[in-house]
Amino acid sequence: MIKQAHAISEELIEWRRDFHQHPETGFDVHRTAGIVADELEKMGYKVKRGVGKTGVVAEIGEGGKVVAIRADMDALPIFEQTESEYASKIEGKMHACGHDAHTSMALGAARILAKEKLNGRVRFLFQPCEETADEEGKSGAQRMFAEGAVDGVDYVIAQHVDPTSPAGTIRINEGPSGGGVDSFTAIIKGRGGHGAYPQASIDPFVLLAHVIMGLNAITSRRLDPFEPAVVSIGAINGGFTENVIPDQVEMKGTLRFTSLETQKIIREEVTRVFDAVKALGGDYELNFLFGGLPLVNDKHVAETIAKVGKDLLGEDKVKPMHKTLGAEDFPEFLKNAPGAMFTLGTKIEGREVYELHHPKFDLDERALPVGTAVLAETALRFLRL
């Protein structure tokens, strides 16, 4: 499988660089999705376009089990600073998270699997809008899931590039491996007045100070210390001049968790913190927006990916994942079937490491055949079970 993947490495690089030069954001991935669908049809896949607005679903094989391979296609609203020969041609848009590589490697796996005699079916899910959501708060995975993209699927696998690990390696583990995410918005209401006469007002900034202290105590005092979670404030807006106490201040934040029980507790505790505003004479409005489920890798699927990695790359090339509370919408596809996501080492040796979403992010293209081979071989092994 490694040999087959290396045999198409030039094509993998060509696809990746083309996508990188023509980044598209959100659900507006019409060019990328069109190229993907056209290529898959040439390979002999049954292709559905426009799934989840602009996603592509393609399947090959007959009967038996169904293994799904997911790749995201969207870029980020970032001005690229790499100055590479294949840098973005679209000002203000950049593939700074490696989705160009994800799409290319999934296409490579599709090319290899199209030539195999399959004992079942392989379904490819090329997804838009992983990085953000539409006007209804729905991401690409949520839209595709709602339209039946994973109906009848037995296993789902995916990968994500890792700029901190060497090319030729992968990372995988079972259980909680990424964070679920909620957002919250709030308005803290007081009573405005002259800055020289604070006794005649209810200062919303004083109320805000109590809220900030309370929010920062949730993870340290209200949650089990062994339960990973984050409560972070991202924006505070209020007031307009130096000698006027405003009526209200606004704030926004993010919540991260690895279990739905913890999500429930955090929401309750955030609400409890804001209730203190009323005790101090003010009022508030608080709204939560569900962002996505935590990534929990299935034990069997994770073990299979690890075995494939060791067989193809060597025992020392498979390590545990770097666990973070960064969010991914891939878990939407795991609601009906077991699955797992692994990370693929793409570090460029001898260069400074730029993390995901950085304007100088890039990757070692020698990793492309590696990710392609692991995806294809894992799918084949599940069909042989």
Claim to verify: residue 124 and residue 212 sit in the same structural domain: no
At residue 16, the pLDDT reads 98
Claim to verify: residue 85 and residue 195 sit in the same structural domain: no
Claim to verify: residue 8 and residue 123 sit in the same structural domain: yes
pTM: 0.92
Cα 70 from chain centroid (whole Å): 12
Domain CATH code at residue 257: 3.30.70.360
Q: What is the DSSP letter of 37?
A: H
Claim to verify: residue 169 and residue 20 sit in the same structural domain: yes
Nearest Cα residue to 92 out of 71, 117, 75: 75
At residue 385, the pLDDT reads 80
Domain's final residue, options 268, 292, 316 = 292
Task: Give the structural domain span for 325.
Answer: 2-177+294-384
Amino acid at 272: R
Claim to verify: residue 152 and residue 218 sit in the same structural domain: no
Claim to verify: residue 171 and residue 315 sit in the same structural domain: yes
Domain CATH code at residue 340: 3.40.630.10
**Around Cβ 373, how many Cβ atoms within 10 Å?**
24
Helices (H), the chain: 2-7, 9-21, 30-43, 99-113, 140-146, 204-217, 260-279, 299-313, 368-384
Nearest Cα residue to 165 out of 316, 57, 304: 316
As for how many domains the chain has, the answer is 2
User: Tens place of pLDDT for every residue, the chain, 385 residues?
Assistant: 999 999 999 999 999 999 999 999 999 999 999 999 999 999 999 999 999 999 999 999 999 999 999 999 999 999 999 999 999 999 999 999 999 999 999 999 999 999 999 999 999 999 999 999 999 999 999 999 999 999 999 999 999 999 999 999 999 999 999 999 999 999 999 999 999 999 999 999 999 999 999 999 999 999 999 999 999 999 999 999 999 999 999 999 999 999 999 999 999 999 999 999 999 999 999 999 998 999 999 999 999 999 999 999 999 999 999 888 989 999 999 999 999 999 999 999 999 999 999 999 999 999 999 999 999 999 999 999 8
